[in-house]
Amino acid sequence: AELKKASKRLSCHKRYKIQKKIREHHRKVRKEAKKRGCKKPKKDPGVPSAAPFREELLREAEQRKQRLEELKQKQKLNRQKEHEKKRKLEAKKNAAKIKEKAEGKESSGKSKAKPNKLLDKNSKKSFCRELKKVIEASDVVLEVLDARDPMGCRCPQLEQAVTCSGGGKKLLLVLNKIDLVPKENLEKWLSYLKKEFPTVAFKSATLMKDKTMEQPTKRRGRVDLSRTSECFGSKCLLKLLQEYGKTQNKAIQVGVVGFPNVGKSSIINSLKGVRACNVGLARGVTKSMQIVHIDKQTKMLDSPSIIADPSNNALALALRSIIDTEESGSADVLEGIDAILNHSSKQQVMMHYSIPDFRNTEEFLTLLAQRRGMLKKGAVPDIENVSKLLLCDWTGAKISYHSQPPESHRLPPYLTEDKIAEMQECFKLKNLEEGNTTTVQALKCPSPASSIIFQSADMTNGTIEENKVIEEASEWENMDTSKEGEEEEEEDFTESDDDQDNVEEEEKDVKEVNQVSSTLAPALVSLTHDFLFSESEHSSSLSFSLDKTADEDDAYDFNTDYV
């Protein structure tokens, strides 16, 4: 039996509706044409039969038509030629790329010597180079520590480099962000750290005027002064440095070093009284050495952050790594948050964020996302952005947490009693202690109950030597290099209009490229297939772990039904 065609009959309601829409559309088009002043093109009446020289006029019109058609044909052929040229050039470029890759693989094993290229400002090697410059140029090195986790902010490689460098270099410890820890805890840390190096209690000014910006004449809204912009400990530190400068009878250079987000640039700004250095929540804002004149006898050298060694534990990498949270992968961020939650008091974290009990990190982040209203389409919690925000809170100056100093005091292997005496030489330690006590008394600190108890890890290893840095090539760098390569190849393969005799050679090259591409095609297809499937499996596993709990894997989730 033959299948009947579907009927094209419509209900009257539908047919009339369509006709009405068409009428409305035509009306709208006519109205717009009227507004624009467009009129219907008048039909060509042609040459009247009674007109003189009618045949000549018609012949001329035909010739004009033929000329226009010929011109169109020529333009079409030119376009086709240009397309062919472009296609052949692209084929040549691809062939050259494949050859270069093959030659590069062969030569990489033989010759490793390559010309030194200029380092990118954001690269880790350039950070190490600038940091070394600061250490070499400075007479006194200030190692800035976060008062919430001073032991985790100490870098043994840096301390060893300064103490063993010779030339009378001094190392001072600066406990910054002291307004975020209880007073008792702060006093304990000061008494613990002063046994090794002279330690200064410091609290940077938060609201600073930018010296480069002109003051606006218009009246502005009120500035929120709920968080104090006053600086504590600046007088004590300046006095200590000036006294040391007098003993040396020369102008001194003071290098400020430390891990990211400890407040190096903020300390310089506080001592200067204006915003001389750029500061921000993002890690690695300072990319090169910057000199700031405090007075005639004192120069401050701002430095990039110390790079945390990849061999450190997850907690140290999460809090002290120079990589920005925007660039780092979601797995690394989740691992870092998991380490932070494991090292802090669960009850206090729940109270601080006002969330109920949670079993794991994923559940904590989902609860926090719901609490803060950070949801994606379909009320799915935005875990990626919440985790990045949480890391910024813990590295910034938002959360008050504190760690206890070790019960037994052990000197690191690079420090001896003689070295400690050498570092404390030429500093008036009594004046320093008095200054620290006045700073602590004047400061308003949080109560121990409101501050989260945090279990600190040991010192964080850092890489100072440029040779030891393992550079991770970013996608943006690869993009830039590929663009440069394309530009160079375009210059090499520019073709003049006179080179039309080499068409046969180009066709041969195209055939060779097609052969190469046919051999490479299955391998590329399999690679892309594996990559896509691995990506999809990874994403599906992540979403699955967030939606379902460990106990109820097969339970139906009613939240996933949407109307």
**Which residues are within 8 A (CB) of 554 and not within 5 positions of it... i.e. 6 or more apart?**
none
Per mean pLDDT, which range of 117-121, 346-350, 462-466 is the poorest? 117-121
**Which residues are within 8 A (CB) of 471 and not within 5 positions of it... i.e. 6 or more apart?**
123, 124, 125
> Residue 426 gets which letter from DSSP?
T
- Dihedral sign for Cα 193, 206, 451, 367, please: negative
Quote the tokens at residue 530.
């594996």
Alpha-carbon span 443 to 431, nearest angstrom: 18
Alpha-carbon span 55 to 62, nearest angstrom: 11
Rounded (10°) angle between helices 383-395 and 361-372: 90
- What distance lies between CA 293 and its chain's CA centroid? 31
Q: Mind listing the pLDDT tens digit for each residue in 453-502?
A: 888 878 888 887 776 666 544 433 443 444 444 444 444 434 444 444 44
Per mean pLDDT, which range of 149-153, 228-232, 407-411 is the poorest? 228-232
pLDDT of residue 246: 86
Per-range mean pLDDT, top range of 412-426, 475-489, 521-535: 412-426
Per mean pLDDT, which range of 21-35, 60-74, 334-348, 529-543 is the poorest? 529-543
CA angle 367, 369, 370 (to 5 degrees): 65
**Mean pLDDT throughout 502-508?**
47
Strand pairing report for 307-308 and 170-176: unpaired
pLDDT band at 73 (very low <50, low <70, confident <90, very high): very high
> Residue 558 gets which letter from DSSP?
G
Q: Return the H-helix or E-strand segment holding 254.
A: strand 252-257
Position 489: which residue type?
Answer: E
Nearest partner of 544 among 525, 532, 530, 560, judged by Cα:
560
CA angle 273, 279, 282 (to 5 degrees): 165
Is pLDDT above 90 for 551?
no
Q: Mind listing the pLDDT tens digit for each residue in 91-110?
A: 888 888 888 888 776 665 55
Is pLDDT above 70 for 133?
yes
Per mean pLDDT, which range of 166-180, 220-234, 290-304 is the poorest? 220-234
| Between 550 and 381, the higher pLDDT residue | 381
Of the CA atoms within 13 Å of residue 358, those in its CB half-sphere come to 23
Q: Structural domains in the chain?
A: 124-207+228-310+402-445 (3.40.50.300), 314-395 (1.10.1580.10)
Per mean pLDDT, which range of 137-146, 377-386, 456-465 is the poorest? 456-465
Alpha-carbon span 285 to 289, nearest angstrom: 12
pLDDT of residue 546: 36
Q: What are phi and psi of 487, to 5 degrees?
A: -65, -45
pLDDT of residue 500: 46
pLDDT, mean over the chain: 76
Strand pairing report for 252-257 and 298-302: parallel
Alpha-carbon span 355 to 334, nearest angstrom: 18
Quick check: helix, strand or coil at residue 452? strand
CA distances (Å), origin 127, targets 133, 257, 289, 394: 10, 12, 9, 23
Neighbours of 182 (CB within 10 A): 17
Q: Mind listing the pLDDT tens digit for each residue in 169-192?
A: 889 999 998 988 998 999 999 999
**Mean pLDDT throughout 517-529?**
45
Alpha-carbon span 235 to 440, nearest angstrom: 13
Q: What are phi and psi of 263, to 5 degrees?
A: 100, 40
pLDDT of residue 66: 93
Burial 259-295 (b: 16+ CB within 10 A, else e): bbbbbbbbbbbbbbeebbbebeeebbbbbebbebebe
pLDDT of residue 13: 95
**Mean pLDDT throughout 511-537?**
45
pLDDT band at 325 (very low <50, low <70, confident <90, very high): very low
Can you name the residues that pair with 173 across neighbouring β-strands?
143, 199
CA distances (Å), origin 80, targets 70, 83, 93, 495, 510: 15, 5, 20, 16, 17
Position 398: which residue type?
Answer: K
pLDDT of residue 324: 53
Nearest partner of 147 among 178, 174, 172, judged by Cα:
178
pLDDT of residue 419: 86
Alpha-carbon span 183 to 174, nearest angstrom: 16
**Mean pLDDT throughout 285-297?**
81
CB 330 within 8 A of CB 387: yes
Strand pairing report for 199-201 and 462-463: unpaired
pLDDT of residue 281: 63
pLDDT of residue 528: 45
Quick check: helix, strand or coil at residue 327? coil
pLDDT of residue 499: 44
pLDDT band at 231 (very low <50, low <70, confident <90, very high): confident
Quick check: helix, strand or coil at residue 129? helix
Nearest partner of 123 among 428, 388, 471, judged by Cα:
471
Alpha-carbon span 490 to 511, nearest angstrom: 21
Alpha-carbon span 140 to 423, nearest angstrom: 10
Per mean pLDDT, which range of 115-129, 267-281, 524-538 is the poorest? 524-538
Nearest partner of 234 among 185, 195, 268, judged by Cα:
268
